[in-house]
């Protein structure tokens, strides 16, 4: 068995198609994904200062508090507002109409602001500035409530208004709001593509055992025929080939994972050790899948390879590998036909990493490990039954 | 002792009868030749012997024991050199030989010595680190042989090992087979090249359409046919009636003239050539060189099957 394990490993890692499709292709795809998706996601989280037109109609310095607030929010690297002075309402609305401003703030004679926001859908029909609108409305609402509360205190309890602690308590939020972490990490949509990619890479790795098992079967190659008449039993030879396939698949996936994690900086929730455990199980599933396809009787090797590629591409579609529409489709399938997700190994491998990334609790991860183990067992059993029954009436 | 014994082996590929109650007995120490055209059943019979193919009927005994698909103790005593070069393209010469030797010999130290010996035997010492695609056709064949014989088997099957091989490599392969036999191995050699079979085999079986047509030493086979002598005489110009006069001789079985030479197939007889030359002299035929030879295996095959061996 050791002899078969050693030389099967050597022959697989030197096989050009395996090197390209199992080892290099995931790295190339990951690099492309990094260029395509990561930038989009990061940009989506960068909030530029919100352009707002201000029409000041206040009198007698009633705008002092408002101006102080605007100055504070429009200074420095983390400025929230980009104020633009407008002399008239028409000028301000023109800025709004031309999408140069998200909102118009009009100060009345007493310095109270009123807010007018741009339409949700821009002239191109594309939804724009939703986050900015919310932020702007929140800022104005906060200003009005705080000013109202202060004026109320000054009216009813002037002494309290002179107490700095009372004033501070009005602007501090941590007394009655607290930040709750409902996910293990800060969620970023783009990571799902990389997890789906690892699922895809895992199923692509099934080509390793397909090749290794094919090289044992007498009806697939002359090499298989020669090995079949050797002095080593089929089961021992198969065990060596399967072990070698698992090792190569595992290493290829670890390399892909390490590249995605450390070279591309994709987050895995800081649980790299658990990821390696997940990869070990994923490689086992891939090995069983390749062995099953490799054991299909009466099918030429090239057809088996085509079948495996087809399976990989189809399953990857339902794991959301091919961009946003595929991701939506995958989510829809998960909602409406959960069983289809359960039996999809690409999706399950993808879920392994997603559960580590999103959930604080490790239960979803181990549940997915369990599902993958069952899938592996079913595939391996079917492959073993097929190979056990095979005898050859012709070669 | 019979190393190989096959009784009434029947093998069908669907409607095609590939082996028709095939019988075979090979004694220890022989180089036994299976001679027949492509598709005659040589490879099928070997594959059935080795349990690579299922068969419909018959008994196979190797080393006196019934052969089964899981008879690994018997398989470990056998070496096979298949018709096609069957090695790992991704492994070097040495790694390939070591792998195939490892299917029979698990002890690493012993295996290393056997691999070295096999490399030396086939003359691949200068190519041990080469991958098969870097080797010439002849060297690949040698590697194919080394992979089959490294574990020093007692019984070796060579299935057309010289197909598409240059004459130099062919001679080297044939000499190697004779050396293996001299060292004690029993050899089963299949070929459709009668010259090779004539050169190295102690006994020969002629096969066609899955049947054994004749079996014995070369002399035995030649005696089985009525053709006793082949005569060829260079004579470009023949006076009228010469061929008829020659054909009228009672010992002449067949006669033809190709424009430059007369070809005669004759029965066994002590004075055939003298009688033929006498007829030519009577008719004042000018002739050049004269050749006379006993029948070849091809003639035997032709007479038994009615067709050329390489048809």
Mutation target to probe the B interface, by most B beta carbons within 10 A, among A10, A226, A227 is A226
Mark whether B244 and B104 lie in a shared domain: no
Q: Does A389 touch chain B (CB under 8 A)?
A: no
CA angle A349, A351, A356 (to 5 degrees): 110
Q: For A200-253, write each residue's pLDDT tens digit.
A: 899 899 999 999 988 888 888 889 889 988 888 888 899 999 999 999 999 999
Q: Is residue B59 part of a domain?
A: yes
B51 to chain A, minimum CA–CA distance in Å?
A: 8
State whether B103 and A227 contact (CB < 8 Å): yes
B152 and B209 inside one domain: yes
**What percent of chain A has pLDDT above 90?**
31
The reply to whether A395 touches chain B by the CB within 8 Å rule is yes
Give the pLDDT of residue A151: 86
DSSP structure string for A291-354 = HHHHH-TT--HHHHHHHHHHHHHHHHHTTTTTSHHHHHHHHHHHHH-HHHHHT-HHHHHHHHHH
Residues of A in contact with B95 (CB under 8 A): 7, 10
Residues B27 and B114 in one domain: yes
Q: Check whether residue B156 and residue B262 sit in a common domain.
A: no
The number of distinct structural domains making up chain B is 2
Identify the pLDDT of residue B311: 45
Whether the pLDDT of residue A126 is over 70: the answer is no
In this structure, the number of other CB atoms found within 10 A of the CB of residue A365 comes to 24
Q: How close does chain B come to A200, measured CA to CA in Å?
A: 26
Rounded distance between C-alpha atoms, residue B173 and residue B179, angstroms: 10
Contacts of B69 in chain A (CB under 8 A): 391
Cβ–Cβ contact A182 with B under 8 A? no
Residue of B nearest to A234 (CA): B70
User: From the list A12, A233, A393, which residue is nearest B70 (CB)?
Assistant: A233
Q: Are B72 and A233 in contact (CB under 8 A)?
A: yes
Inspect the interface and report whether the beta carbons of B52 and A3 lie closer than 8 Å: no
Indicate whether B251 and B161 sit together in one domain: no
Q: For residue B53, give the nearest of A3, A221, A393 by CB distance.
A: A393
CA atoms within 13 A on the CB side of B35: 35
Angstrom distance (rounded) from CA A205 to CA B303: 59
Strand residue runs (E) in chain A: 50-56, 81-86, 103-107, 113-117
Q: Domain boundaries in chain A?
A: 2-38+190-389, 48-171
- For residues B215 and B273, state if they share a domain: no
* H/E run at residue B57: strand B57-62
**How does pLDDT run across A334-368, given as a tens digit for each residue?**
888 888 888 999 889 988 988 888 888 899 999 99
Q: b vs e for A209-238, b when ≥16 Cβ sit within 10 Å of the residue's Cβ?
A: bbbbbbbbbbbbbbbbbbbbbbbbebebbb
Lowest mean per-residue pLDDT among A127-131, A145-149, B54-58: A127-131
- Residues of chain B with Cβ-Cβ distance to A11 below 8 Å are 88, 90-91
- The more confidently predicted of residues A71 and A190 is A71
Among A14, A231, A393, the residue with its CB nearest the CB of B75 is A231
Instruction: Tell me how far apart the alpha carbons of residues A269 and A180 are, in angstroms, rounded to a whole number.
Output: 17
**Residue ranges of chain B whose pLDDT lies below 70:** 308-311
* B173 & B253 share domain: no
Q: Please write the tens of the pLDDT for every residue from A238-256.
A: 999 999 999 999 999 999 9
Which chain A residues are closer than 8 Å to B54 by Cβ? Answer: 391-393
Contact list, B50 vs chain A (CB under 8 Å) = 229
Residues B194 and B273 in one domain: no
Residue A55: which pLDDT band, with cuts at 50, 70 and 90?
very high
pLDDT band at A394 (very low <50, low <70, confident <90, very high): low
From A7, A12, A230, residue closest to B104, measured CB to CB: A230
Q: What is the ipTM of this complex?
A: 0.82
Looking at the structure, tell me whether residues B281 and B218 fall in a common domain.
no
**Residue B61, H or E segment:** strand B57-62
What DSSP letter does each residue of B219-233 carry, written as one string?
A: HHHHHHSSEEEEEEE
CATH assignment of the domain containing B285: 3.30.70.100
**H or E element that contains B115:** helix B108-122
In CATH, what number is assigned to the domain containing residue B126?
A: 3.40.50.300
Ranges A283-292, A319-328, B106-115, B300-309: which has the least confidence: B300-309
Q: Are residues B230 and B217 in the same domain?
A: no
pLDDT computed for residue B177 by the predictor: 94
> What is the domain extent for residue B109?
2-222
Show the tokens assigned to B44. Answer: 């099928």
Structural class in CATH, domain A48-171:
alpha beta
Residue A110 makes CB contacts below 8 A (sequence gap 6+) with: A58, A62
- Which of A4, A10, A394 faces B91 most closely, judged by CB atoms? A10
- Residue numbers in B near A222 (CB within 8 A): 82, 84-86
H or E segment and range at residue B264: strand B261-267
Q: In whole numbers, what is the pLDDT of chain A averaged over residues? A: 86
Claim to verify: residue B284 and residue B246 sit in the same structural domain:
yes
Query: Among partner residues A3, A215, A222, which is closest to B84 by beta-carbon distance?
Result: A222
CB atoms B86 and A221 under 8 Å = yes
Q: Are residues B129 and B247 in the same domain?
A: no
């Amino acid at each position: 068995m050791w002899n078969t394990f050693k030389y099967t490993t050597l022959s697989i890692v030197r096989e050009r198609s395996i090197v390209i499709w199992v080892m290099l292709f995931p790295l190339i795809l990951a690099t492309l994904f990094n260029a395509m998706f990561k930038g989009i996601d990061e940009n989506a989280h960068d909030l530029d200062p919100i352009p707002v037109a201000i029409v000041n109609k206040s009198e007698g310095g009633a705008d002092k508090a408002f101006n102080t607030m605007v100055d504070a929010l429009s200074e420095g690297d983390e400025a929230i507002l980009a104020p633009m002075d407008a002399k008239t309402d028409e000028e301000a609305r023109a800025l709004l109409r031309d999408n140069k401003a998200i909102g118009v703030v009009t100060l009345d004679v007493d310095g109270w602001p009123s807010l007018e926001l741009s339409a949700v859908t821009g002239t191109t029909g594309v939804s724009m500035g939703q986050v900015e609108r919310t932020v702007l409305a929140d800022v104005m609402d906060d200003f009005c409530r705080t000013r109202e509360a202060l004026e109320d205190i000054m009216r009813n309890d002037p002494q309290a208004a002179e107490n700095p602690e009372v004033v501070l308590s009005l602007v501090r939020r941590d007394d009655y709001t607290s930040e709750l972490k409902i996910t293990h990490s800060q969620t970023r949509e783009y990571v799902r593509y990389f997890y789906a990619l690892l699922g895809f890479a895992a199923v692509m790795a099934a080509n390793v055992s397909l090749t290794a098992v094919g090289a044992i079967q007498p009806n697939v190659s002359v090499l298989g025929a020669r090995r079949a008449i050797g002095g080593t039993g089929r089961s021992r030879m198969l065990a060596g080939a399967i072990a070698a396939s698992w090792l190569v698949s595992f290493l290829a996936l670890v390399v892909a994972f390490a590249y995605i994690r450390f070279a591309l900086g994709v987050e895995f929730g800081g649980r790299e050790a658990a990821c390696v455990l997940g990869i070990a199980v994923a490689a086992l599933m891939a090995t069983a899948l390749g062995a099953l396809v490799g054991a299909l009787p009466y099918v030429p090797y090239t057809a088996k390879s085509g079948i495996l590629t087809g399976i990989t591409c189809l399953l990857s579609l339902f794991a959301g590998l091919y961009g946003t529409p595929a991701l939506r489709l995958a989510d829809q399938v998960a909602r409406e036909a959960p069983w289809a997700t359960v039996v999809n190994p690409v999706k399950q491998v993808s879920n392994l990493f997603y559960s580590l990334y999103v959930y604080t609790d490790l239960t979803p991860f181990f549940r997915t490990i369990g599902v993958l183990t069952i899938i592996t067992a079913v595939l391996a059993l079917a492959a073993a039954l097929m190979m056990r029954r095979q005898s050859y009436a012709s070669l | 002792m019979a190393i190989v014994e096959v009784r009434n082996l029947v093998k069908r590929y669907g409607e095609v009868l590939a082996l028709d109650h095939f019988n075979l007995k090979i004694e220890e120490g022989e180089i036994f030749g299976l001679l027949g055209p492509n598709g005659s059943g040589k490879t099928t019979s070997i594959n059935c012997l080795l349990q690579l193919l299922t068969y419909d009927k018959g008994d196979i005994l190797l080393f006196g024991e019934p052969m089964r698909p899981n008879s690994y103790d018997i398989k470990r005593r056998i070496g096979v050199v298949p018709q096609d070069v069957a090695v790992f393209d991704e492994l070097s010469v040495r790694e390939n030989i070591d792998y195939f030797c490892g299917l029979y010999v698990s002890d690493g130290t012993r295996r290393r010595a056997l691999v070295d010996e096999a490399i030396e035997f086939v003359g691949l010492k200068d190519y041990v680190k080469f991958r098969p695609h870097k080797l010439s056709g002849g060297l690949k064949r040698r590697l194919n042989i080394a992979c089959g014989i490294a574990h020093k088997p007692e019984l070796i099957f060579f299935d057309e090992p010289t197909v598409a091989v240059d004459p130099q490599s062919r001679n080297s392969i044939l000499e190697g087979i004779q050396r293996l036999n001299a060292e004690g191995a029993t050899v089963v050699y299949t070929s459709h090249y009668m010259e090779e079979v004539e050169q190295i085999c102690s006994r020969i079986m002629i096969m066609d359409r899955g049947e054994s047509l004749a079996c014995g030493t070369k002399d035995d086979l030649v005696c089985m046919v009525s053709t006793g002598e082949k005569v060829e005489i260079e004579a470009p110009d023949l006076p009228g009636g010469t061929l008829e006069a020659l054909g009228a001789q009672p010992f002449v079985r067949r006669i033809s003239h190709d424009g430059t030479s007369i070809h005669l197939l004759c029965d066994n007889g002590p004075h055939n050539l003298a009688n033929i030359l006498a007829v030519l002299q009577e008719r004042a035929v000018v002739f050049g060189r004269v050749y006379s030879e006993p029948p070849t295996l091809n003639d035997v095959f032709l007479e038994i099957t009615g067709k050329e061996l390489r048809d």
